[in-house]
């Protein structure tokens, strides 16, 4: 549901504006900067499982930020560092700091400011659902939708996008909670949101098969999950999504197909090199499944 080049909320549900990423990494074509190099080093430490070392660097970037935008970028990176440890509480703490920055931008750039606040709330929620804190995840998915819908006219992101995102999230939460009927109800609502807006659906459609598989997996329909995830991974743009590979590996594991499970866990591990919620869950998870140090 989507995308900021570094951070995407759900398995990535919508394209995110990039101002903070440019601050953190340096604009494309710009000469290397010490801050960008430090950010890359810390991000790599997180993917290597050295999160404590990474956070020392991210804290230095926060403390030495030259302006509020750079500080918010470093705080967002710190939130993701905690995500690699499955730490919902601290991820939320730092995402709230980033949201506070975007509150200060509401007058200067209202469309983007409210959209980014919604993005950060959804990003925190995504980390929390993967960490198993469903109560916090639900609260922040609702918060993300509420903030995103405050974007004034002329909207740069339609209300249908937030409707789709919220129903997508609620279907996953219901499935994780064992509420099969609720999961199916929200799944149908997500489908309805896509069907209501063809322009929005053009960008978001590829995330629907993943949702079908997710609901099937967590409600015990393993064959349905296998078919949905296999179909999702065949769609252009999904082939390099580490989380979808991990979910298919989990499905094969439950089906008793150990060799196929290992194959997809390896693919998930190899693909999870970004510094975002999907990688934050998938990298440590796959590392453990593969018995890697």
pLDDT in tens, the chain (293 residues): 333 323 333 333 333 334 454 445 555 555 668 999 999 999 999 999 999 999 999 999 999 999 999 999 999 999 999 999 999 999 999 999 999 999 999 999 999 999 999 999 999 999 999 999 999 999 999 999 999 999 999 999 999 999 999 999 999 999 999 999 999 999 999 999 999 999 999 999 999 999 999 999 999 999 999 999 999 999 999 999 999 999 999 999 999 999 999 999 999 999 999 999 999 999 999 999 999 99
Residue 31 lies inside a defined structural domain of this protein: no
Domain housing 249: 221-293
pLDDT the model gives residue 169: 98
Residue 144 lies inside a defined structural domain of this protein: no
Interatomic CA distance for residues 207 and 173, integer angstroms: 16
Interatomic CA distance for residues 279 and 244, integer angstroms: 11
Residue 153 lies inside a defined structural domain of this protein: no
Write the CB contacts of 63 (distance below 8 Å, at least 6 apart in sequence): none
Residue 252 lies inside a defined structural domain of this protein: yes
Question: DSSP assignment, residue 16?
Answer: -
* Phi-psi label, residue 110: left if phi above 0, alpha if psi -120 to 50, beta otherwise: alpha
pLDDT the model gives residue 22: 43
What is the pTM assigned to this prediction?
A: 0.90
Question: DSSP assignment, residue 81?
Answer: H
Q: What CATH number should be reported for the domain holding residue 235?
A: 1.25.40
Residue 108 lies inside a defined structural domain of this protein: no
Question: Environment class of residue 107 by beta-carbon count within 10 Å: exposed (0-12), middle (13-18) or buried (19+)?
Answer: exposed
Residue 173 lies inside a defined structural domain of this protein: no
Extended strands (E) in 133-234: none
Number of domain units in the chain: 1
Q: Are 7 and 123 in contact (CB under 8 A)?
A: yes
pLDDT the model gives residue 172: 98
Residue 254 lies inside a defined structural domain of this protein: yes
Write the CB contacts of 48 (distance below 8 Å, at least 6 apart in sequence): none
Interatomic CA distance for residues 273 and 279, integer angstroms: 6
Residue 267 lies inside a defined structural domain of this protein: yes
């Amino acid at each position: 549901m989507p995308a900021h080049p570094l951070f995407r909320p759900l398995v990535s549900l919508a394209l995110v504006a990039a101002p903070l990423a440019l601050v953190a990494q340096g604009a494309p074509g710009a000469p290397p900067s010490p801050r960008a190099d430090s950010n890359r080093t810390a991000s790599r430490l997180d993917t290597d499982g050295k999160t404590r070392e990474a956070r020392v660097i991210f804290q230095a970037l926060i403390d030495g930020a030259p302006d509020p935008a750079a500080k918010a970028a470093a705080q967002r990176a710190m939130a993701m560092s905690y995500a690699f440890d499955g730490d919902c509480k601290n991820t939320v703490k730092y995402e709230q700091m980033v949201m506070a920055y975007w509150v200060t931008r509401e007058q200067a750039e209202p469309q983007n400011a409210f959209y980014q606040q919604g993005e950060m709330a959804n990003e925190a929620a995504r980390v929390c659902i993967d960490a198993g804190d469903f109560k916090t995840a639900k609260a922040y998915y609702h918060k993300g939708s509420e903030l995103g819908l405050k974007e004034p006219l002329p909207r740069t992101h339609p209300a249908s996008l937030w409707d789709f995102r919220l129903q997508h999230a609620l279907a996953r939460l219901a499935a994780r909670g064992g509420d099969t009927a609720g999961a199916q109800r929200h799944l149908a609502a997500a489908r309805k949101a896509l069907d209501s807006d063809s322009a929005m659906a053009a960008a978001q459609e590829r995330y629907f098969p993943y949702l079908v598989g997710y609901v099937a997996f967590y409600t015990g329909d393993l064959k349905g999950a296998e078919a949905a995830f296999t179909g999702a991974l065949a769609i252009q743009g999904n082939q390099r999504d580490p989380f979808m590979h991990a979910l298919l590996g989990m499905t094969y594991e439950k089906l008793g197909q150990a060799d196929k499970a290992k194959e997809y866990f390896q693919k998930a591990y190899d693909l999870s090199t970004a510094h975002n919620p999907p990688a934050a869950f998938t990298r440590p998870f796959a590392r453990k499944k593969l018995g890697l140090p």
